[in-house]
Amino acid sequence: MADSSEKDEVTQVTEEVEEVTEEEMVTEGPEKNVVTSSVQSTGTEMENAKQASKLKKARTAKLSQLTKRKNVMIQLMEDVSGFHEVRDNLHTYKDLLERFKDIHRNYQELLTEEERKQDDSEWFEPKINEINTFLSSVSTWISGASRAGKPQEEEEISPKDSASQADPLTEFPRTGASAGGATFLCAARLNRAPSASPVLFFLSFFWYFVVVACRSVNMRGRAAGVGQ
């Protein structure tokens, strides 16, 4: 009887151990998966953080290149003779700007929604607004410099500008002095020139009449003296 009782106890203990082992296997399976998933998630976050740090530094470096190119262009814009150099530098500046924007987009893809909003409002938007203002000023400068830099065609003196074939603008009374006529002729030509100043024309026109009037008075005085 004793041997039978001992066998029953051993069998019972063995069954209990097997049941516990099965329970542990059931409960430990999902927990192990959770731990593995957590480790993988942590690794991905660390990799994203590392990549974001690199992109952030690259973005800052690209902005520095834009600033240096901007300073070069500002110096060139002090003289209209640098028109072509400014235009060439503008193309380089725009290429740098596109790369800057690409890096910015790649960087923000690694941020959370809240981090993206903060980065835009505190960093990117002020920088891009300053860049757009600069581009607008360069565009205005190039437009003005291109007009100012165009060579002005000199008018050729044709036969119709001679005294015998003078047009209404260049014709002047023969009783006037040659100095007065030359002044009026010069004023007429200046008025037809693209860059002539209206003030200069009227001053020359006024000077012509002053000379003619003075010589007319002088001639009358001489005539009166001869008559006496």
Convert the pLDDT of each residue in 128-162 to its tens digit.
Answer: 999 999 999 999 999 998 887 655 433 444 444 44
41 against 228, higher pLDDT = 41
Given a contact cutoff of 8 angstroms between Cβ atoms, the answer to whether 58 and 102 are in contact is no
Chain centre distance of CA 164: 57
Q: Retrieve residue 181's tokens.
A: 């006529």
Tell me, what DSSP letter sits at residue 122? I
Tell me, what DSSP letter sits at residue 170? T
CA gap 131, 65 in Å, rounded: 12
Average pLDDT value for residue range 29-50: 67
Query: Could you tell me the pTM of the whole model?
Result: 0.51
Please report where in the chains the tokens 């008025």 appear, as a residue: 191
